[in-house]
Amino acid sequence: MTAFAVTEAPPVADPQDDLALRFVAGDEGGLEAVYRRWAPLVLSLARRSLGDGAEAEDVTQTVFLAAWRGRHGYRPGRGPLPAWLVAIARHKIADALSARTRRTDVAAAAAREPIRSPESSYTQDTVLDRVDVTRELRRLPEAQRRVLCLAFYGDLTQTQIAHVTGWPLGTVKSHARRGLLRLSRSLHAEATEEAR
């Protein structure tokens, strides 16, 4: 009787682990594969929570953009990649729901306002003030203008702006502060010049 040597087969690599490693390494093919594989999961979570297909698609895009930008923060030892993506999705869904609530509150407050005639609502000075602000916004450096427009016209918090732009929160705060100071100085200088 001959003895056979028993050799263990090498462990088979988990394709999900390989995909996660490619993703974290910055392989764009890995990003595409991760998106194809787990976007339906993220989209279904967003649809269930938000009840709006278009908004769910926007949130899904935001989740994968945030994951790509923050991929170096993913630690495989803490859990699988899909769980990490779901955690990001929960945060983005919560942000979307908060923004929706703010928009609803603003609309409700506007509905409670008494209706005024156009003459009393928009005086010539009010319209000119808006034109001045719009003109001065256009003169700001791109980053400052983007932050202020997202804050005031997009109704986003600074944290949400950081997520949308991919910039650190401190950078967003600095751009907002510098942009507001520059706007203030420009508008004040213009008002002083007109008063002369």
pLDDT tens digits for range 35-50: 999 999 999 999 999 8
Mean pLDDT of the region 170-185: 88
Q: What is the pLDDT of residue 2?
A: 52
pLDDT band, residue 82 (cuts 50/70/90): very high
Query: What are the chain's domains?
Result: 15-105 (1.10.1740.10), 123-195 (1.10.10.10)
Q: What is the pLDDT of residue 43?
A: 94
- Give which of 86, 89, 79, 88 is closest to 16, Cα–Cα: 79
pLDDT > 70: percent of the chain: 77
Mean pLDDT of the region 156-183: 88
Using CA atoms, how far residue 194 sits from 123, 127, 136, in Å, is 18, 16, 15
pLDDT: which is higher, 78 or 130: 78
The yes-or-no verdict on residue 13 having pLDDT over 70 is no
Q: Is the dihedral of CA 155, 160, 163, 165 positive or negative?
A: positive
Cα atoms in the 13 Å half-sphere on the side-chain side of 136: 20
Q: What is the pLDDT of residue 135?
A: 75
The yes-or-no verdict on residue 96 having pLDDT over 80 is yes
Token couple for 104: 């609803």
